[in-house]
Amino acid sequence: MSLLDLLNQAQGGRGLADLGRAFGLDPAMTEALAAQIAPAISGGVKRKAAEEGGLGVVLGQLQGQGQAGYYDAPTVAAAPEARVAGEDFLSQLFGDRQAAPELARAAAVKTGAPPEKAEAFTPALAAMLQGGMQRAAPDEEIDAAIGGMEVAGGDRAGAGLGDLLGALGGASSGEGGALGGIMAALTGGGGRAGAAPGGGLGQLLQMLDADGDGSPLDDVIGRFLK
């Protein structure tokens, strides 16, 4: 499963097309733009998580349910306040307010979409996607992961999604200490090493860790996240 799959599941499969329609985009062009932007966001998340302090930023963007309504009712994501929320999400991930327009322009070139429509659509799509990720990751699991990360030595450079996934899946009944207790709680008391927990935060992190490699907008991602 990928972030694009997550978008395509919204509102029983109608949500993405409904969002595009709000910007005058037909379903085919909406899907084409989403196929460019979603992997770029995933790649941005993955790279951000590997920066010093970046994993905390990523987990913080998944906390709460502030944007969940944009996933549940995608046409609401077309509203100005939702687009501001989407721009904020992208600027947090990429560290630059120009992330949304840059991604939009590059996606428009790749797909042939009208640039002004792509630029309006991109932050709305980001808000909808953030809402979907917030829906997928319960806050208690995020809080426990942040606590476990702090016990393990803080949010250091290189401690990316893969390291957190390993911690989530590597807890076992024989692992002691505070970190073991936190991670065992996340995995239901233990499990085999290397296995991500089913559903929730573990499934979302697994999706993000696998997705985004070789994104069609990788050159744009690289300009923001070195």
Each residue's pLDDT tens digit, 13-31: 999 999 999 999 999 999 9
Neighbours of 20 (CB within 10 A): 26
131 and 144 share one domain? no
One domain for residues 111 and 52: yes
Residues 202 and 187 in one domain: yes
- Average pLDDT score over residue span 105-125: 97
Same domain, 81 and 12: yes
pLDDT at residue 95 above 90? no
CA distance 22 to 13: 16
The tokens for 147 are 């606590």
* Residues 104 and 33 both lie in one domain: yes
What pLDDT score was predicted for residue 153? 66
Return mean pLDDT, the chain: 82
Q: Which two tokens stand for residue 61?
A: 């963007």
The tally of domains found in the chain comes to 2
What distance in Å separates the CA atoms of residue 108 and residue 104, rounded to the nearest whole number? 6
The per-residue pLDDT for 193 is 32
Assess whether 70 and 41 both reside in one domain. Answer: yes
Range of the domain at 97: 3-136+213-224
Most confidently predicted of 149-158, 182-191, 204-213: 204-213
121 and 190 housed in the same domain: no
More confident residue, 142 or 222: 142
Determine the pLDDT at residue 175: 41
Asked if 146 and 83 sit in the same domain, the reply is no
pTM comes to 0.83
Judge if 27 and 85 occupy the same domain.
yes
Is the C-alpha dihedral spanning 71, 32, 160, 91 positive or negative?
Answer: negative
